[in-house]
């Protein structure tokens, strides 16, 4: 007799907490009604450096910075895409982090055909500096363009991507803006997990293409991040984020806090990205940047963890548990249990709508993608777990000082 009131009270508390989480998610999604359209590339008739953009603005072109360490297996499409860019791309600087594979040789081979592409050795890295942002900082210091465009080595740019991102920044008045990709996930397991991980971002930060009202809650994607070089240098350079495993978010939030105009736009037509080919790679590596730990205050980390737990992780489990309970007891659910079913059904409806809404972010979908709500409990709990533990590696590389960089001609 004692267990029944306790169980009823627990269900009532769960219903209240999940209702609050549902309201939080809906509030975060509502600005998506007025989201900006996806950005498209400008492969033809793009302005040359010094040429006029809409409104008569002129600039000295774009310096693309690509951090690369042991990226020979993935760098080819990126180099090919960069070589296909038009005159807006002034240069592409690939910063090699003492790679022992063919990364440097691939860059030299491409540079022989396109002199805009050049190789730069990552300078010696002090302790407690993370390789990726440290390499980006070196590339940004060497940049000559008015804009610095950071892309990852696994990004395959479409022709006209560079002109497209600058045109978008100019049109919307951004000093720093990043773009959501089209994801290449070749395996069904990778699509299953990656689609669920993407939703952890949407639940916390809303959709791409909406106005950013609070810099400390801004989302950014370092796979394609454009920054006005003057704004970056005035803030102290990319070194601001050199100790962070979510350097893209930290640098954008830091710029926003200093008054820079920041944005996050949808860009699946601009570039493809192959982050992780398998579910195992996805599970091990992606959450260490998804958690935003280094750039988020503890209070927000706790609140976001609560939203993920209540709105994403629990609904499939709660609905399954209540269905099994009803079958086992061969009796209808009580009023409190029905309230819990209702709020979890609404949460699942929101999730299914987001599933359809994010379909365009994946080059291939298939059964793995459409079944991704079943991966939500594992994905949300994985992100929550990493939120409160500091990362110790980046793509398997422990952030310790690398060997002294060798001269370029010795590579």
The tens digit of pLDDT for each residue in 254-297 reads: 999 999 999 999 999 999 999 898 999 999 988 888 888 888 89
Encoded tokens for 29: 């999604």
pLDDT at residue 404 in the model: 32
* C-alpha–C-alpha distance, residues 111 and 155, integer Å: 18
**Highest mean pLDDT range out of 158-162, 392-396, 401-405?**
158-162
Of 189-193, 286-290, 350-354, 391-395, give the lowest mean pLDDT range.
Answer: 391-395
CB 95 within 8 A of CB 136: yes
Q: Three-class SS of residue 372?
A: helix
Closest CA to 180 of 127, 117, 141, 222: 222
* 1-401 CATH fold: Spore Coat Polysaccharide Biosynthesis Protein SpsA; Chain A (3.90.550)
Confidence of residue 52 (pLDDT cuts 50, 70, 90): low
**Start-to-end CA span in the chain (Å):** 76
* C-alpha–C-alpha distance, residues 37 and 49, integer Å: 26
Closest CA to 179 of 62, 77, 40: 40
Residue with tokens 């060798």: 406
Task: Work out the percent of the chain whose per-residue pLDDT is above 90.
Answer: 71
Strand partners, 149: 64, 226
Could you give the count of Cα atoms lying within 13 Å of 268 in the half-sphere of its Cβ? 13
What confidence tens digit (pLDDT) does each residue in 196-246 have? 999 999 999 999 989 888 999 999 999 999 999 999 999 999 998 988 888
Domain segments of the chain as ranges: 1-401
Strand partners, 66: 94
pLDDT at 344 over 70: yes
């Amino acid at each position: 007799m004692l267990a029944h009131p306790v169980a009823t009270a627990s269900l009532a508390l769960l219903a209240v907490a999940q209702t609050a989480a549902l309201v939080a998610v809906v509030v975060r999604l509502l600005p998506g009604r007025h989201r900006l359209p996806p950005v498209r590339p400008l492969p033809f008739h793009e302005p040359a450096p010094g040429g006029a953009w809409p409104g008569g603005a002129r600039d000295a072109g774009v310096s693309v910075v690509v951090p690369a360490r042991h990226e020979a297996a993935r760098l080819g499409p990126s180099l090919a895409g960069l070589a296909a860019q038009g005159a807006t791309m002034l240069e592409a600087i690939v910063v090699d982090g003492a790679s022992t594979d063919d990364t440097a040789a691939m860059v030299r081979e491409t540079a022989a055909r396109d002199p805009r592409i050049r190789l730069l050795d990552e300078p010696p890295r002090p302790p407690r500096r993370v390789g990726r942002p440290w390499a980006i900082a070196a590339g940004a210091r060497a940049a000559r363009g008015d804009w610095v465009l950071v892309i990852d080595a696994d990004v395959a740019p479409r022709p006209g991507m560079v002109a497209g991102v600058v045109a978008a920044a100019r049109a919307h008045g951004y000093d720093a803006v990043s773009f959501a990709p089209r994801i290449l996930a070749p395996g069904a397991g990778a699509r299953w997990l990656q689609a669920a991980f993407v939703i952890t971002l949407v639940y916390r930060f809303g959709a791409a293409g909406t106005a950013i009202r609070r810099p400390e809650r801004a989302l950014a994607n370092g796979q394609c991040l454009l920054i006005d070089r003057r704004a970056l240098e005035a803030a102290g350079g990319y070194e601001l984020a050199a100790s962070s495993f979510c350097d893209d978010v930290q640098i954008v939030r830091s710029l926003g806090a200093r008054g820079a105009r920041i944005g996050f736009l949808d860009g699946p037509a601009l570039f493809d990205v192959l982050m992780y080919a398998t579910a195992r790679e996805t599970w091990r590596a992606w959450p260490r940047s998804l958690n935003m730990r280094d750039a988020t205050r503890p209070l927000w980390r706790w609140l976001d963890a609560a939203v993920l737990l209540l709105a994403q992780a629990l609904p499939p489990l709660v609905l399954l548990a209540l269905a099994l309970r009803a079958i086992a007891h061969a009796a209808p659910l009580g009023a409190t249990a029905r309230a819990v079913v209702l709020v979890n059904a609404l949460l699942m409806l929101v999730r299914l709508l987001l599933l359809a809404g994010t379909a365009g972010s994946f080059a291939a979908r298939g059964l793995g993608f459409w079944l991704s709500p079943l991966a939500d409990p594992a994905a949300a709990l994985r992100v929550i777990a990493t939120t409160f533990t500091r990362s110790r590696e980046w793509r398997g590389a422990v952030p310790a000082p690398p060997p002294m960089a060798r001269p370029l001609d010795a590579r």
